[in-house]
Amino acid sequence: MGISRRLDFNLNQQSFEPIEYLDSGGLPIGFRGAAVLHGGTDLGELYQAAADGRVYNTETGLTDNLVGISVLGLTKRYSLQGYVGMAHSLYLRLEAVTADTVTVTVTGGGSEYGEIEREYSVNVAGTNDLEIRVRLHREILGRWLQVRFSGSVSNRPAVREAILRYLPVRSGRVSA
């Protein structure tokens, strides 16, 4: 069996990120080898051989072998510095993509309310940069907040800025 999970270097972020390649049915593809095709152009394209013998052109435009690229991002837990706060809104400024939607999940926790999580579907289709405001549910309360992004996209919606706003509800008191 080939390798289905690995670390690839992301040139835009200058860091390694975990990658798993999926076929159109959502199953992991096990790769055994890779080669760069050299032809009559200056363009070097990366081809990879799967464990089942198929050959994939893995870097074609803005998809992965014509399959949307699965994305998943998770922020750290942002402390509200002793306050119990209510999540208010999330502002995103990002590069628009072609007809894609991502799911944004906002979680609050660390207080007597437990962990409260709400999902929002965000349309990131358009041209140029997009500025999106997501009004959050009032019941997302806690001493920390965290944001998760997930979805399948046909090109990279580079998040340029994300601002999570909250309102302090109270401070200092801890319920037993």
| Predicted confidence (pLDDT) per residue in 118-165, tens digit | 999 988 887 778 899 999 999 999 999 999 988 877 766 677 888 999
Residues forming CATH 2.60.120.1190 domain(s) in the chain: 71-171
Residue 81 pLDDT exceeds 80: yes
DSSP β-ladder status, 15-20 and 141-142: unpaired
**CA distance readout (Å), 19 to 67, 81, 142, 166:** 14, 34, 32, 33
pLDDT at 86 over 90: yes
- 157 closest CA partner among 80, 101, 89: 101
pTM of this prediction exceeds 0.75: no
**Radius of gyration for the alpha carbons in the chain, expressed in angstroms and rounded:** 20
The CATH architecture to which 71-171 belongs is Sandwich (2.60)
Say what percent of the chain tops pLDDT 90: 27
| CB of 46 closer than 8 Å to CB of 9 | no
* Cα(140)–Cα(146) distance, integer angstroms: 11
Of 11-15, 99-103, 108-112, which range is least confident?
Answer: 11-15
